[in-house]
């Protein structure tokens, strides 16, 4: 149920009663009411205002500023979702106002999709449950009993008429007709709701139960034991169609950046004992508009999450790449330092060995050792010159420019 206020009336209310108490009057949370006030540029009392006022200290009210962008009318929907974005709430309020204007002078309108649906509904044969169904591309999805077809026709005509006045149109979607709202579609269906009522046992059920109980008593007397096997089942509840119509919209959740599954926007509107669902047409249409905006926001949120995942993956790959490069650099440096240490050791050893020899006399095997060591030393020296190191680093790819 929506309450209509002006900015001046809301301003007077929030300065007359604490928002925590006022929010309960509207069936909202204080967070939701604060959000509505911010949206319509209605100032609220600062922290400590009510405590000062309760103790007789002087307080002052913030005057209501001018807001040329405001429509002048504020709709406060009882139990409104506090998770809805500003865009969702604005679309809901705009369509609600347009639809309520139309509901004051309801008018039925012609629509090709509606006309085709009503023709098919008149031809549809009920199934074993007594429900006649109409669905398919270019048709509104309807499932009602033939007895409720006239009521369903009236409801659909009023709904389509109010929708057109609010800027919503029907279009032939892939599976069934859907509402087209600012570039997005919202699917819906009209069904006859099933009522769960207490089952009254029939005479046949009572007779079968009495027969079973008599047989069980006879078996007890004859065999001395009893068993509950084969007891006739009499249900406590039963489902029955009683002409109560229900409009069901597409299920859409309000997602956030960090939570994929958020709260579900109310999607079912049904007849009740006190209220005809036709009276809820403005609320139904405003919810359709809200769902359309929420779907766009969800796609945008999905895209942001996808980009965030790709960025996180890119950074992970980049970190692994840099870690691998660092590992290669350390390994190459360790190898070059090890080779340098071998050069120093070989040079020192050769100098010491040759210094220990007397004159030109060299034992045969020592001479071969010296020659072999000098060959290894020369190879290490050649591998340690800058050009050779450059080629080795290029092969390893350890110091490439990014």
pLDDT at 80: 44
Confidence of residue 103 (pLDDT cuts 50, 70, 90): low
Q: Are strands 177-181 and 237-249 parallel, antiparallel or unpaired?
A: unpaired
> In degrees, to the nearest 5, what angle opens at C-alpha 23 toward C-alphas 20 and 28?
125
Residue 347 has pLDDT above 90, yes or no: yes
The band of 2, judged by pLDDT with boundaries at 50, 70 and 90, is low
Average pLDDT along the chain: 86
The 3-state DSSP class for residue 29 equals coil
Answer yes or no: is pLDDT of 266 > 90: no
Percentage of the residues of the chain whose pLDDT score is greater than 90: 43
Question: What ranges do the domains of the chain cover?
Answer: 1-80, 322-396
Among 266, 297, 262, which residue's Cα sits nearest to residue 283?
266
Instruction: Give the tens place of pLDDT for each residue, 45-89.
Output: 887 788 888 888 888 888 888 876 665 677 776 544 456 777 887
pLDDT at 17: 87
- Dist. CA 100–CA 301, nearest whole Å: 32
Confidence of residue 40 (pLDDT cuts 50, 70, 90): confident
pLDDT of residue 105: 54
> What does the alpha-carbon distance between residue 142 and residue 133 come to, in Å, rounded to a whole number?
6
Average pLDDT estimate for 253-279:
79
Q: Does the pLDDT value for residue 108 go beyond 90?
A: no
C-alpha 44/C-alpha 62 separation (Å) is 8
Lowest mean pLDDT among 42-51, 118-127, 324-333: 42-51
CB 294 within 8 A of CB 99: no
Q: Does position 376 have pLDDT exceeding 90, yes or no?
A: yes
Task: Output 358 or 383, whichever has higher pLDDT.
Answer: 383
Tokens 């406060």 label which residue?
76
Q: For residue 386, is pLDDT > 90?
A: yes
The answer, as to whether pTM is greater than 0.95, is no
Mean pLDDT of 1-6: 71
**Of the candidate ranges 122-131, 252-261, 263-272, the one whose mean pLDDT is the lowest:** 252-261
Q: Which residue has the higher pLDDT, 169 or 175?
A: 169
Give the β-pairing of 141-144 and 184-198: parallel
């Amino acid at each position: 149920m929506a309450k209509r206020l002006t900015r001046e009336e809301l301003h007077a209310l929030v300065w007359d009663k604490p928002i925590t108490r006022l929010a309960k009057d509207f069936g909202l949370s204080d967070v939701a009411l604060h959000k509505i006030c911010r949206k319509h540029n209605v100032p609220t009392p600062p922290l400590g205002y009510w405590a000062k006022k309760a103790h007789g200290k002087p307080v002052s009210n913030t005057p209501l500023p001018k807001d040329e962008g405001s429509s002048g009318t504020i709709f406060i929907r009882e139990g409104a979702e506090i998770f809805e974005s500003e865009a969702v709430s604005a679309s809901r309020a705009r369509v609600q106002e347009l639809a309520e204007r139309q509901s004051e002078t309801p008018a039925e309108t012609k629509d090709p999709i509606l006309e085709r649906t009503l023709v098919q509904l008149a031809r549809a044969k009920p199934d074993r449950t007594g429900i006649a169904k109409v669905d398919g591309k270019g048709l509104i999805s309807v499932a009602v009993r033939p007895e409720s077809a006239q009521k369903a026709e009236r409801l659909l005509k009023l709904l389509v008429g109010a929708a057109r006045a609010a800027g919503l149109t029907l279009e032939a979607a892939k599976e069934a007709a859907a509402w087209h709202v600012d570039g997005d579609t919202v699917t819906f269906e009209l069904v006859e709701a099933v009522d769960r009522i207490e089952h009254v046992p029939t005479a046949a059920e009572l007779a079968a139960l009495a027969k079973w109980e008599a047989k069980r008593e006879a078996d007890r007397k004859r065999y001395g034991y009893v068993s509950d096997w084969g007891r006739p089942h009499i249900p406590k509840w039963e489902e029955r169609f009683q002409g109560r119509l229900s409009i069901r919209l597409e299920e859409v959740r309000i997602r956030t950046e960090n939570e994929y599954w958020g709260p579900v926007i109310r999607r079912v509107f049904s007849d009740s004992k006190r209220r005809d669902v036709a009276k809820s047409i403005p609320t139904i249409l405003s919810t359709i508009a809200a769902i359309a905006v929420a779907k766009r926001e969800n796609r945008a949120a999905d895209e942001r999450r996808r980009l965030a995942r790709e960025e996180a993956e890119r950074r992970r790959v980049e970190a692994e790449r840099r870690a691998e490069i660092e590992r290669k650099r350390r390994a190459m440096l360790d190898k070059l330092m090890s080779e340098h240490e071998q050069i120093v050791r070989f040079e020192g050893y050769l100098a010491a060995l040759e210094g220990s020899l007397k004159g030109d006399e060299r034992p045969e095997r020592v001479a071969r050792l010296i020659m072999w060591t000098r060959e290894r030393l020369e190879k290490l020296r050649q591998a340690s010159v800058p050009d050779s190191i450059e080629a080795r680093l290029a092969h390893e790819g350890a110091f490439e420019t990014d």
